[in-house]
Structure formats: C-alpha cells, structure tokens
Chains A and B, each alone.
Chain A
C-alpha cells in the first residue's frame, strides 16, 4: 500500500497535508472497495479532531470519515460529487476530500508519522 512520506495519518485512516488538505489513505480506499457516493462536509463547518465530518459510501457499506485535526472547513472537493471513484483511483491527489484551516491547538501532534501508520496497517 502507498503511504506517502510527506503526510500525517490518523489511526482511522485519514491523511493530513501540511496545507490542511484531508483525504483517506490508499489502504482505506482499498478496504472500502468501489466508492460510489461521497457526502461532503459544508464549507465553514467547525470540527474537532476525531469528530465525524462526512460519509463515504462504497457498494458494500457507508463509512464515516473523521477529521484528523481540529479546525474549520474552508473548501471541499466538489469533483467527488460527480466522480466519487477519484477516491479509489487517486486517494492522495484528485481524491482529496476537504481542506481545513487548522485551529491553534489542532492536535497535529497526535497524528501518526508515515512509519507509524505503515506499522499500523501492516499489523491488520
């Protein structure tokens, strides 16, 4: 599974880029199977680290997505509305879900390094 070195990861399989962009990991998209629907969060939503923020649905099931850190949603990836499969085909690129403006105490220190996240998914 692809685990890029320039991202931080939540134990619940979301990734966070330094610019506040959030998505789900390659491992997560593989486990979800074919994504067919994404219920995006609303821009402006204030969210706590670990709080459920949106829903991703595969043929198999609906899965909650949790915000990896505390902040405010500034933009969402509208392309996922018409092409939810971007989450499967490009989870770290065009399949990004939303972008946060991080709070002062965002909780970034609680996220996993790529090494720690690789160890987590290797143990599954």
Chain B
C-alpha cells in the first residue's frame, strides 16, 4: 500500500463522508483447523473464542509470558472447527513461529498454516459501504452483520467478506486468492465509482485509526506493554481458562497498572504532534507520544501516549516539546471522533 494516492486529506475525507478502499494484501492470514483448535487458540489468545459462533469474529491479542503484546489480530470462525487469523504484516513470521512453537506435542488434530502469500485483501470503508455491497451483489447475498464474515464464490474462487475495519466507519474487509487481486481491486473501484470511492493509502489509514484511538502495534502496543495498560481489557477474558500472559495480567490487575495509554489533543495552535515527541509535566519529561498526527476531521493535533496511572485522567494537561518549544496538550475521552452513521455501534465492538 502506498502512503497516498491523491492526497491523505482527500482520502481521509472520502472514508469519513463516502467511501474508500485500502489494499490490505500485506496483512497475514493463518488458517487453523481441527477439533482441538479452539482450545489450543484459547490458550494463546486473550479474548474468548467460546463466544464465537460460526461466521463471527473478535479482536484479540497474542501475548508473551510477561503479558506483553506480540500482536493484535482478528480471529474469524469460518467453520465449526476452522479459524482464520488476520495478523499484522510486520509480525507474520514472528506470530507464526510463536504458534508453531506452542503447538501441542500430539498436534495431529491441529493444522496451522501460514496462507499469507496466497491471499489478497481489501478494506472497503465508509458510510456508503453497505450501498456498494448491495449494488455489487445485486441482492444475491445479505450483508454480513458487524463482526460477521460471509464466504461466497465468485467465478469459482473463494471470497471471505467480513464486516470489520480499522477506520471507525461502516465497512467490509474482503479476502480473496492472490491471483485475483488486481481484478478485485479494479472491480471494487469501478463499481464504487457512483458512491464516490477513492483508493486510499497508509497515510489516511493512520489518521483514520488514530481519530478512533485504535492502537497500532509497534507504536502504541509492543512486547513491553500490556492490553490492560493500553485500556483494551474488554478484549481480555480473565475469567476463561489459562492462556499465555494471563498470570502477568492478573498480577497487573491486582496491583493496578502503573501507566495507561491515553488519547490527547493539542489545545492551541501548534505543529502536528508526532510519535516520540517528548511530553512534560511541571517541567519534567514524563513520557513520549506513541502516535501523533494532524486530525483531518478535527483539524487539530491528536495522538496517544502512556502516562503514569495517577495522571491518566480526562482533562489532565501536559506540554509537548516540538523543536525546542513547548505546546499544551490535554487528555481526552476516546474515541476522539464519533462517526456520523447510526452504525457507530460497530465502532465499539471492533471498537478497541
């Protein structure tokens, strides 16, 4: 995916107001099958797979023993005993090696295959996504509900279409065989033209997700941060059985986390905040931004940072250092932007 096609601002507004499509073919796909697969995955992932019916999905974390985030991912139950894991591109090898290493000795009944190279993917996002779906399939299929996945065939090829995304808007993520990538991309753009579709790049993907306070692994999440510190405990089921990282999280919960990931806004005129800019409180450097950008929707600088738990209150003020000058920032409630459409319930489930 390029940084931009016609411009980050134009692409961002297209997704917020009409429709955009992102090429997410770089993301990884693992297929896990077998009667024992659910139990095995539930021992590796934080959310509870027992809650998923066939055709449903959930956001979840793969943790190390210390409760740190190796990756955040979506697990789709695409059959009774068949699971599709969609993981971050930069983590494909590491995640897959981790899964392989933790396969049970008698792994005969569990097949775990890295199919990343065989799949292309497209995220069609925006308030007009449902209209495009209906126009595209001319009523042959009903739209999957939020966090559901539909499997269909087009010209004899398997397509998975999920009602998921990373923008806060309504939308679909489509996975198809890699050899069909170019045609699918062209078909989506052609059919989406009447709905104002724009091809969108990584730049808009970052501004859109940050307005929603969705974390980016490697920036806002990492092996030295836990989902509890990141404020994502609703995707962690501490009531279910054992999983890797659980004991560390239980200890954090018992003693209270020392820091929390919070969203902030610049409160006055300033240059845009960027990752790693230093944040000060009462003259002392206390942390740095993990993410930062100019919000095209809010027209102000926004970002996220880990701050000491005692300071993690909405309205708390800090200063950010940018090229030697200090600018005021303030902790805000997440998300920083509320999508317009009624469908915003959506944002809460995938909602991070």
A residues with CB within 8 A of B: 33-34, 36-37, 39, 55, 57-62
Given A39-B323, A59-B207, A60-B3, A34:B8 Cβ within 8 A: yes
Contacts of A62 in B (CB 8 A): 271-272, 274
**Does B189 lie at the interface of the complex (its beta carbon under 8 Å from any beta carbon of A)?**
no
One of B10, B203, B271, B274 near A39 (C-beta < 8 A): B271
**Does B7 lie at the interface of the complex (its beta carbon under 8 Å from any beta carbon of A)?**
yes
Contacts of B252 in A (CB 8 A): none
* A59 x B8 contact (CB < 8 A): yes
* B294 x A33 contact (CB < 8 A): no
Complex alpha-carbon distance, A61 and B272, angstroms: 9
- A45 → chain B, closest Cβ, in Å? 15
By beta carbon, the residue of chain A nearest B12 is A59
B residues with CB within 8 A of A: 3-4, 7-10, 203, 207, 271-272, 274, 293-294, 296, 323
* B271 x A60 contact (CB < 8 A): no
Contacts of A58 in B (CB 8 A): 8
Contact sample, A vs B, 25 pairs, CB 8 Å cutoff: A33-B3, A33-B4, A33-B203, A34-B7, A34-B10, A36-B272, A36-B294, A37-B271, A37-B272, A39-B271, A55-B271, A55-B323, A57-B271, A57-B272, A57-B294, A59-B9, A59-B207, A59-B272, A59-B294, A59-B296, A60-B4, A60-B8, A60-B203, A61-B274, A62-B272
Complex alpha-carbon distance, A59 and B294, angstroms: 6
Contacts of B7 in A (CB 8 A): 33-34
- A37 → chain B, closest Cβ, in Å? 5
Complex alpha-carbon distance, A55 and B322, angstroms: 11
- A43 → chain B, closest Cβ, in Å? 18
* A37 x B294 contact (CB < 8 A): yes
Contacts of A55 in B (CB 8 A): 271, 323
One of A34, A37, A39, A61 near B9 (C-beta < 8 A): A34
The A interface, classified by DSSP as helix, strand, loop or mixed, is strand
Complex alpha-carbon distance, A55 and B324, angstroms: 13
A33-B4, A33-B8, A60-B203 provided; 8 other pairs, C-beta below 8 A? Answer: A33-B7, A34-B7, A34-B8, A57-B271, A59-B8, A59-B203, A60-B3, A62-B272
- B39 → chain A, closest Cβ, in Å? 44
Contacts of B293 in A (CB 8 A): 59
By beta carbon, the residue of chain A nearest B10 is A34
Complex alpha-carbon distance, A36 and B203, angstroms: 14
Contacts of A59 in B (CB 8 A): 8-9, 203, 207, 272, 293-294, 296
- A89 → chain B, closest Cβ, in Å? 11
Instruction: Return the 7 tightest CB-CB contacts between A and B, nearest first.
Output: A59-B8, A34-B9, A36-B294, A37-B271, A60-B203, A34-B7, A33-B8
Contacts of B9 in A (CB 8 A): 34, 59
Contacts of B8 in A (CB 8 A): 33-34, 58-60
By beta carbon, the residue of chain B nearest A61 is B274
- B218 → chain A, closest Cβ, in Å? 17
Complex alpha-carbon distance, A58 and B10, angstroms: 13
Contacts of B10 in A (CB 8 A): 34
Complex alpha-carbon distance, A33 and B323, angstroms: 21
- A41 → chain B, closest Cβ, in Å? 13
By beta carbon, the residue of chain B nearest A38 is B271
By beta carbon, the residue of chain B nearest A60 is B203
Complex alpha-carbon distance, A55 and B10, angstroms: 23
Complex alpha-carbon distance, A23 and B109, angstroms: 65
By beta carbon, the residue of chain B nearest A58 is B8
Complex alpha-carbon distance, A39 and B324, angstroms: 13
By beta carbon, the residue of chain A nearest B202 is A60
- B135 → chain A, closest Cβ, in Å? 30
Complex alpha-carbon distance, A35 and B8, angstroms: 10
Complex alpha-carbon distance, A60 and B202, angstroms: 10
- B149 → chain A, closest Cβ, in Å? 32
Contacts of A57 in B (CB 8 A): 271-272, 294
Complex alpha-carbon distance, A69 and B225, angstroms: 48
Contacts of A34 in B (CB 8 A): 7-10
- B325 → chain A, closest Cβ, in Å? 9
Contacts of B323 in A (CB 8 A): 39, 55
